[in-house]
Chain A
Amino acid sequence: DADVTQTPRNRITKTGKRIMLECSQTKGHDRMYWYRQDPGLGLRLIYYSFDVKDINKGEISDGYSVSRQAQAKFSLSLESAIPNQTALYFCATSPGHSSQETQYFGPGTRLLVL
């Protein structure tokens, strides 16, 4: 089974709708991240969380919110989806117990906002 899972894998929604993307991990890592990937722009950080009570904004957090329900679960919400939020979304985890850390990524959610 995959260590980092994301649901749904694909989603089509309409402008103005609220949607939630979910991420679960079995790696036992404390730190979790949400990124979006757009062609030509690379991966950009939306939010990150170092533990259940520690959530931080990334470089492009406007229009997004997150919830860390447990060490293993980190959800991303689009409060009112807009077409320029069409992208590939990735969840990632890292151990959180050393100063130099590797991130491990989920399989991604492809989101289309009409």
Chain B
Amino acid sequence: EDQVTQSPEALRLQEGESSSLNCSYTVSGLRGLFWYRQDPGKGPEFLFTLYSAGEEKEKERLKATLTKKESFLHITAPKPEDSATYLCAVQAAGTYKYIFGTGTRLKVLA
């Protein structure tokens, strides 16, 4: 069964304290892996798409990496405005459906 697991469920960081969020997946062939940011009461906002193992993408303080079994979202020197829930999703080969993890709730303290 295709599955996505995110860890930790929640993370509290001090401003400037770098860390990583994990997204582990099991799919019968990966078409793509997606990272989103979601603020309370709002829709998910697209961050990155990764297609193959070894691929990396960066945007401001965020960097996403991909292996054959998991993806990491690295947050470097986070600021309070980075506080949000970060969602990971995968699209399996042979299907146009997306499987979402339950997210990591990040709180960055000033």
Contacts and interface: CB of A to CB of B under 8 A. Distances in A.
A and B co-occur in one complex: yes
Interface of A: 4, 31, 33, 40-45, 48, 50, 58-59, 90, 99-108, 110
Given A42-B102, A105-B44, A100 B51 contact: yes
Given A31-B96, A45-B98, A48-B97, A100 B32 contact: yes
The prevalent SS among residues of B at the interface is strand
Contacts of B91: 100-101
Contacts of B101: 42
A102 B33 CA distance: 9
B102 to A, nearest CB: 4
Contacts of B34: 102-103
Contact of A106 (B31, B43, B98): B43
B103 A42 contact: yes
Given A42-B103, A43-B87, A103 B43 contact: no
Contact of B46 (A42, A104, A108): A104
B45 interface: yes
A83 B96 CA distance: 30
18 contacts: A40-B102, A42-B87, A42-B102, A43-B44, A45-B97, A45-B98, A48-B96, A100-B51, A100-B91, A102-B34, A102-B46, A102-B49, A103-B34, A103-B46, A103-B98, A105-B43, A105-B45, A107-B42
A104 B91 CA distance: 14
Given A40-B102, A42-B102, A100-B51, A90 B31 contact: no
A24 to B, nearest CB: 14
Contacts of A42: 87, 100-103
Contacts of B46: 102-105
A33 B97 CA distance: 10
B97 A58 contact: yes
B54 interface: no
